[in-house]
Structure 1
């Protein structure tokens, strides 16, 4: 993937998240996309942190948007690889996060993963305090 295309993808991705427009965020994903996140593992332990299919991802992110009304992402940098986009961003609580997204041949996310610098990703995301509250 060309860096200009990856940067444009990241710009639209962040714009959708910052508008809290879940349909716009999910428009980047294929119907059978898979997404993994340590936050999902903490908040929805029954998933093992892996969400399969756009509707499962929607359900998880809907909870996130409810729990984090001040959610906001600032793209710090964008990296690209073969069919990969990595979006390095700072979240609303100042934490650095990487979203690693593998695209299919139609340019939609086939699989993705949220990665964090700390063990308690839910607290780092603002979805839950370190004491478990939110």
Structure 2
């Protein structure tokens, strides 16, 4: 993977998330995707923090989009690896997040979100 692909993907990723169109977001993900995030336990109650398969990912993100109607991402930086990329972004409450995505056959096959002191959630004035 080269940096040009990574930057183009990150720009589309940002536009897709900011559109709140779940199927548009999921179009980049493989049916067998695995995704891990501390937000999975927060939204779905799954202590493993991992969803497996596109259907589980869809359910997780559907919940997230419903609970955070003002969700918005701004890409700060992008890094390219051999078959992966890292998107450094700020969310709607200013939290800095890193999303690491590994690709197979042009689609995301695995990913994880990594958070600092501010998680991606702010619901009704309460910040985690």
Given the alignment of the two structures, is residue 126 of structure 1 paired with residue 121 of structure 2, yes or no?
yes
Corresponding position of 1:115: 114
Structure 1: 4+ residue segments shifted above 4 A:
none
Corresponding position of 1:41: 41
Post-superposition offset of 1:127: 5.2
Q: Gaps (5+ residues) in structure 2?
A: none
- Is the CA contact (8 Å cut-off) linking 1:37 and 1:113 kept in structure 2? yes
Structure with more of its chain in strand, by fraction: 2
Alignment deviations for residues 7-45 of structure 1 (CA, whole Å, 9 cap, x no partner): 000011110000001111101100010000011123323
User: How many aligned residue pairs are there?
Assistant: 126
TM-score (norm 2): 0.92
Q: Gaps (5+ residues) in structure 1?
A: none
TM-score (norm 1): 0.88
- Is the CA contact (8 Å cut-off) linking 1:35 and 1:51 kept in structure 2? yes
* CA spacing shift, 1:44–1:17, aligned 2, 3 Å: same
Given the alignment of the two structures, is residue 9 of structure 1 paired with residue 9 of structure 2, yes or no?
yes
Q: Secondary structure at the match of 2:8?
A: helix
